[in-house]
Chains A and B, each alone.
Chain A
């Protein structure tokens, strides 16, 4: 999980609209803030969620999503085991196994046009939308508590959300496909997947790579890099779980309100995006300062 400092907390509180005494920068968890932040105004998130719901209810396979979500939760609970495993063996498929239920959910959602609908009805990652999403997420105990049941601590969830909110510039680089203009030399935007699909596919493609990547690069790895790998995966999979839970709720019990549905989808994608970028920087781009010492061929 990313290290969150005083300045990070101050910036976060500013984005979610908490100033004054609470914004002094003291340590807090999301639970501490629940009820302190104001929910959305004018029902903007609810309107987005309602539009998505009306597009998708009836198209999703509740049975498939329910069973794969349960499998995904089982895999998320294995994350500490994967950290304990350290560097995978040559023929390991442990990380590919982690990704399997995520792929099943992802492929179903692609098949029914879920990602296209979500992208159509949700806005870009503007600071305003990120702030509104964060406030809704903070105030929705059910979204966080599901993750707590899977082994996430309050501190981990808090640092994930603070990290997402404070990375609004990186999130803004992920442009919805509908906003990518045509007319590009040799480059067809028709081939770019919707934003939330890219976020999810990225998480799963990175996970599939880890068995090979960690094994091939053991000579460069340190315990710090492996710890970061674990933390970044937790971040990514919190996001994937939120997205999958929202889809499963939409297909079945529909317990989430429209605004909460929007918050789960937007926050989930944001966590997946920031998480995979952190993974890239923490684990894949190993500088001389980060790497294990050269052994000199001995």
Chain B
């Protein structure tokens, strides 16, 4: 067990913050007036700048690091560390627990900068962050960002982790900004607002740093904003370029101004070609397409931009003119030199809420294969009759997918992608009240499982772990997760290892290791609170150990689950 500091002003400030439910979401109260950094033994942090080359080698070429949200730029969430194997995973032991002291949303990925000792940088809601000795779990500095009053948060006070470059780490903030911290001291270097939080913009994802740019996105689609991807200068925070995802020429009238299409998860980057593959959310308003006719380009799918100037290269839409909230927000996976159709291709792999995996040509977005269904498809794309107030349709995948934001992983050793999927039905309904002047106009509403009529043919499983071959589209294995196994949907991502293992967490608090080839459960460990995060793994040559880290605690849209405040780190020695 790691040490817990008696006095931590950043933790104390974060503990006072309350998330309260308001009419259409949440907001924070008791926020601190100023951001707070609490330093401890920061001398332990080796002063070695993180370079572009280090990031390009992250996790795969250099298994001692996990320098970004998705492991590497391609977001494969794969480590080449090979200490933990199918044969010895049963010996994996809890190394230490970090008590963050802040029981809030825990959706982040701890990143790890190699060194002696390696240093972990970790965030959780609401914009609380730490530098940690990754060998001992000792907190080296602690930080709480001073969000303003009056935030509009659709879903929770989420934060999904840091980006790192040079001597800085970068975190998005709930008021739709990015704050840069000195990673040796935890002190603020700069802050840049990228959107007006007073009209609903917010930010929750881990940003990405590439070739002199901090790449960030946009959230707040439920509040009628217009989405964008932006690049900032890592040293100054000044904006370099910004690309709007709802350009006026693709929309009817001025509907683009409320067109949403937000990019609220971390974009994938191919450093070789300089392409950014951004995951794009649903058009707005969510359930009424009649005020925004046409395909609503560039929503719901993959939007590929040039990292140089943000210019649009191609877009693939998974649910054109969507009215079911079928975002495609999960990070995209880039795989170069994949053998397919007798050719070597660079591909982008996208699992969406539609519960298919799309394999696209990375150069132009042409669909190469669409997989077998990953969940059930019941009443999919069925339009709800707009006749009277009680007409509604239960459909699967529901508004959570398929694949909501939870990041998929890829293993070049098995050639498979691994997905945490939702199979719970939802109901959309129209409300006759929308025709009455002066009433709110949502274009409909949504009932969440279990408060729905189960559709005929539904198998009763609310989640599934699925392995898909992106070359053939074959669903290689699928483990259905019943309500007994997990109290709610799966709400976090997976990772893979060079030895063919797949790790992920469940809402019931189990971290599980699967045999990636056949879906056999090889090991699991009960952590006592929901796991809604995505893991990371690295090899520490100083200790001769491979580690696996996971944040433990509830979070999420509609069903938060029990809160936790822990980072659990497991380790296994190579001998």
Contact = CB atoms under 8 A, between A and B. Distances in A.
A187 B441 contact: yes
Interface in A204-231: 204-206, 209, 213, 215-220
A191 B253 contact: yes
Interface stretch (A2-10, A22-30, A76-84, A195-203): A195-203
Contacts of A213: 295, 317, 320
Given A202-B252, A276-B293, A187 B370 contact: no
Interface stretch (A31-39, A64-72, A156-164, A167-175): A167-175
B390 to A, nearest CB: 15
Nearest to B438: A181
A296 B383 contact: no
B71 interface: no
B295 A205 contact: yes
B223 interface: yes
Contacts of A220: 367, 370
A186 B199 contact: yes
B369 A297 contact: yes
Contacts of B254: 190-193
A18 interface: no
A209 B284 contact: no
Interface string B427-451: 0001000111111111000000000
Nearest to A209: B295
B67 interface: no
B573 interface: no
Interface in B418-471: 430, 434-442, 469, 471
A190 B253 CA distance: 10
A20 interface: no
Given A90-B364, A198-B252, A198-B290, A285 B435 contact: no
B255 A192 contact: yes
A197 B435 contact: no
A235 to B, nearest CB: 15
A218 B18 CA distance: 51
A175 B366 contact: no
A191 B370 contact: no
Contact of A201 (B252, B320, B366): B252
A129 interface: no
Contacts of B211: none
Given A175-B290, A288-B373, A296 B472 contact: yes
B386 interface: yes
Contact of A183 (B250, B291, B317, B440): B440
B377 A287 contact: yes
A183 B474 CA distance: 48
B485 interface: no
A280 interface: yes
Looking at A170, A186, A220, the one whose CB has the most chain B CB atoms below 10 A away is A186
A291 interface: yes
Interface in A252-292: 276-277, 280-281, 284-285, 287-288, 291
A25 to B, nearest CB: 24
Interface residues of A, number: 54
Residue of A193, A280, A297 with most chain B CB atoms under a 10 A cut-off: A297
B472 A201 contact: no
A170 B366 CA distance: 32
B186 to A, nearest CB: 35
Nearest to B315: A212
B385 to A, nearest CB: 6
Nearest to B384: A173
Contacts of A294: 369-370, 372, 472-473
Interface string B329-373: 000000000001100000000000000000010001111111011
Interface string B408-421: 00000000000000
Contact of A188 (B251, B258, B439): B258
B168 interface: no
A117 B225 CA distance: 29
A215 B368 CA distance: 11
Contacts of A297: 340-341, 369, 469, 471-473
B473 A201 contact: no
Given A193-B252, A198-B252, A205-B250, A291 B370 contact: yes
Contacts of B442: 184
A41 interface: no
B316 interface: yes
A170 B251 CA distance: 21
A281 B222 CA distance: 25
Given A191-B257, A205-B250, A220-B367, A198 B440 contact: no
B221 to A, nearest CB: 10
Contact of A219 (B253, B257, B369, B373): B369
21 contacts: A169-B385, A177-B291, A184-B224, A184-B442, A185-B440, A190-B254, A191-B254, A202-B252, A205-B251, A209-B320, A213-B295, A216-B360, A216-B365, A216-B367, A220-B370, A276-B293, A276-B294, A281-B381, A297-B340, A297-B472, A297-B473
Interface of A: 90, 169-170, 172-175, 177, 179-194, 197-199, 201-202, 204-206, 209, 213, 215-220, 276-277, 280-281, 284-285, 287-288, 291, 294-298
10 smallest CB-CB distances across A and B, nearest first, come from: A202-B293, A193-B253, A205-B294, A186-B224, A201-B252, A186-B223, A191-B254, A297-B471, A297-B472, A285-B381
Given A180-B441, A294-B472, 18 more contacts: A184-B224, A186-B199, A186-B258, A187-B224, A188-B224, A188-B257, A192-B255, A193-B253, A202-B293, A205-B293, A206-B294, A209-B294, A209-B297, A213-B320, A216-B367, A284-B320, A296-B472, A297-B472
